[in-house]
Amino acid sequence: MSLPHALILHGLGGSGPTHWQNWLAGELARHGGPVDVPVLTEPDRPRLAVWLDELRGHLAAMPVSPSRERVVVAHSLACLLWLHHAAGDVDEALRVDRVLLVAPPAPDYAGEPLIREFLHPVLDPTAARRAAVSTRVVTGEGDPYCSLARAKELAEALRVDLDVIVGGAHLNADAGYGEWPAVLKWVRSDRTSLTPR
């Protein structure tokens, strides 16, 4: 089977050049995989309604093919964006095969006023399955935006698998996550658990 068509979604402030999301996009493109890495409007001052419209536009643009999966890889704030999308009135044409939610903030995280609109998404396993055939959450031990207990609660509420990266913190460039072969392996095959870099 061909490499999936990947949509890679950044969090608050975007993903810098040394972030694993940019590395992943480069690796997928180098191996001939179609990849979409949008810069969402005003990444430093996100608006939920704007980002939802943009997300759905990018999903609508992903071609449907029996030989190529459609995969979404979201980091941080984009995980909450995805959950809001899933809880909405999702057009069947926007449904994807797999979603990876990396380092989601706690759904009630109050430490960053800029993400207030994104908080308290509906955690509905039926809605999650309506938006994607399968969803997986990966969290870093010591993530300042989401405790391990809260990440487990999130995964349990959605009834999805959770991978915990020991010492992974927020799984970003500051935590040493530039090259991350495990995430590339997951994009290639959902049977791969996420492991440290």
- Tens digit of each residue's pLDDT (9 = 90 or more) over 112-122: 999 999 999 99
Q: Rounded to whole angstroms, what are the CA distances from 49 to 54, 84, 136?
A: 9, 10, 24
pLDDT in tens, 25-46: 999 999 999 999 999 999 999 9
Tell which residue, 196, 171, 193, has the closest CA to residue 75: 171
Q: What dotted CATH number matches 5-188?
A: 3.40.50.1820
Say if residues 14 and 42 touch (Cβ distance below 8 Å): no
For residue 24, pLDDT beyond 80: yes
State the Cα–Cα distance between residues 168 and 179, nearest whole angstrom. 13
pLDDT at 195 over 90: no
**Does the pTM exceed 0.85?**
yes
